[in-house]
A and B are shown apart, each in its own frame.
Chain A
Amino acid sequence: MTETSLKTPDSRKMVLNMGPQHPSTHGVLRLELELDGEIVTGVKPHIGYLHRCFEKYAESLDDYSKVVPYTDRLDYVAAMSQEFSYALAVEKLLEIEVPERVEYIRVIMAELQRIASHLLAVGTFGLDLGAFTPFLYCFTEREKILDIFEKASGARLLYNYICIGGLMKDVPSDFKSDTQNFVSTFRPKIKELNDLLTTNRIFINRTAHIGVLPAEVAINYAASGPVLRGSGVSWDIRRDDPYSIYDQLDFNIPIGQGEVGTVGDCWDRYIVRVLEMEESLKIIEQALEKMPEEGDVREKVPKRIKPPEGEVYVRTESPRGELGFYIISDKSPRPYRVKARAPSFVNLSLLPSISLGSMLGDLVAIVGSIDIVLGEVDR
């Protein structure tokens, strides 16, 4: 029994269950809505329908490297970023440095993953607003990235490619040309997307001034990623707390400026993602240029990883925001505690604060603009 159903019903209001099976909750999110006609007067997110207790798994496995495939399944549309983050955390615990070539490949993979993930986010956002076609345009491009991943790792969704101390195996010989090819063909596609969706009058009407998230609220809720940057806060862990080789690369941090509405509305969160894709292309180009042609892709790590006693909190900029891994080691080969700080989990928690008073159609837009992945929310 939920709390709302126990209250005396207000005859003018309707309690509506949106989800867990609903086309635009992006998975199994359930929102308990209280509606006054079309106006949303109460939102209560219920999560956990996809909960499988990743943390318990991680603490029960007898090897640090066995956790990597499970991290893939957190944010299943950006698996590379999850592996990357987890590998960085364990490497920091072990205090090992990985070969330079590995760093570059990891960054390229992470940025390709960011583009793939943002394409999905932007496409499904359009879908939520009734624009079906941009979704498939985005998917076409995403497929090309998945092809590159498939050539390298053999998988298209859950790669298990970045491992502790390096990579599972070296990239194929045509990786560089494939990626360059993708970068050059993708740039014009962003313009196409802008023509089709970004500047569409109806799209702007549906997203501008909707779900405005002020910067202070965003920070207080510890929002991160495009949700925070959409509110005009220039904060990106790749630049402000750099990891791997991001400090050697040159890129901008796009922020929401309220070009068509208020700073921090749905359109701003959307446009930040679009602009970030272009920045990712820049990063990929630079990294491809600087990447050493030859080299080992695996640092010598002991077969059985036994980190010294200690704990680390490592955060990286995943496509959805700050992805943190808090790992405690007790000198055994089994992680004592693994906590995943999932950006979607935190970003979703601010949904009630920005959606009250909006319309049902707006709520769909707001959920879409936050871009949650339930695998990561529920872990």
Chain B
Amino acid sequence: MIELLEYTIPSTMLALVIHALLPLGFILVYALFAIWLERKVAGHVQDRLGPMRVGGWHGWAQTIADMLKLLHKEDIIPTQSNKFLFKMAPYMLFTASYGAFAVIPFSSAYIGSRVDIGVVYLLAILSLLTLSVIMAGWASNNKWSLFGAMRSASQMVSYEVPTVVTVLSVIVVTGSLNLMTVSEMQTGNDLFGFLPNWLILQNPFLVIAFIIFFISILAESHRVPFDLPESESELVAGFQTEYSGMRWGIIMLSEYADMLLLSLLGVTLFFGGWNSPFGVFMAGPLWGFFWFILKGMLLVFVMMWIRWTLPRLRVDQLTYLCWSVLIPVSFINLVLVALWEMIF
């Protein structure tokens, strides 16, 4: 991709900028779509239709209208807040999610940066989210915000452990931290002659790893049943209580970007990344992009489905689940994955 851009665009600098901005454009379009989808999923789960009017067909333009409304809103900054941090926090939040997209292989032809420590980079960048959330909560100078930020910090720090351990189980199999290499390893349909070479199908213990991974990313992206940092019925809106208008819009955007990012990571690690499920049929760089996004959106859809079905856990149950269930199981599972790899 970068070669193509450098070839067609005379300035290397400009080519690099365009190359870097491609995911941003994608995230913005995706967020508009995902918020609309969320409302449609919620609507249909709840036996109603969701937005139906704006734009004609099933209210497709609803989020665009909402965005315009958010842009028009007054920018309210509490007088007693730490103004610099308060303004910075949403941008930092979004920067962190956006920065992490750099190592996601969207298709065989496009990856932001083909670094060899891709997974480590991604997990490290994700930790910035915790920092931004605490920043937002502290700077707001509101007890509810602080409460939400504290919950968020404990939750994200806790759930990073099972996430990392499950990612590690995949790394044990692949032997590479480069997500592009991981995707390339899963090309082909050789398993039992017809199944795709996806990692989740290669090693039975990776199924368990995936389940733990999925639970952990639900918690990391603050989705129900782990939406404690912003649980509206307990903490008003958690760390976002004081945010309004477009600043709140950016927080929202980064939340949806997080969901997608973590889902795409899951797809890359377990479900063959950009590989077509039908071997060479419908394969190629553009098809790769299609498959990758489709798989990612399926996981995002499952997250939405769960959100509109389950109640929320309590804060102690949340940490219990992490430290007493997921972490021990994921460690044992890691050993089992490695053993399976040694034996077969």
Contact = CB atoms under 8 A, between A and B. Distances in A.
A329 B101 CA distance: 76
A110 B41 CA distance: 36
Interface in B310-332: 310-317
Interface in A337-374: 359-362, 364
Contacts of A128: 233
A205 B232 contact: no
A203 B315 CA distance: 14
A253 interface: no
Contact of A130 (B143, B144, B236, B312): B312
Contacts of B228: 361
Q: Which of B225, B308, B314 has the most CB of A within 10 A?
A: B314
A137 B311 CA distance: 15
B234 A131 contact: no
A127 interface: yes
Nearest to A196: B309
Contact of B314 (A14, A23, A132, A205): A205
A206 B314 CA distance: 7
| Residue among B47, B144, B234, B311 facing the most chain A CB atoms (10 A cut-off) | B311
B29 interface: no
Interface in A15-62: 16-17, 22-24, 38
A140 interface: yes
A202 interface: yes
B217 interface: no
Contacts of B310: 130-131, 200, 202
Interface residues of A, number: 30
Contacts of B316: 38, 359
Interface in B286-344: 308-317
Contacts of A137: 46-47
Interface in A208-246: none
B225 A202 contact: yes
Interface of B: 42, 45-48, 143-144, 147, 224-225, 227-228, 231-236, 308-317
22 contacts: A17-B143, A24-B233, A38-B315, A128-B233, A129-B233, A129-B311, A130-B233, A130-B312, A131-B311, A132-B42, A136-B48, A137-B46, A137-B47, A202-B225, A202-B310, A206-B313, A206-B317, A359-B316, A360-B147, A360-B315, A361-B228, A362-B314
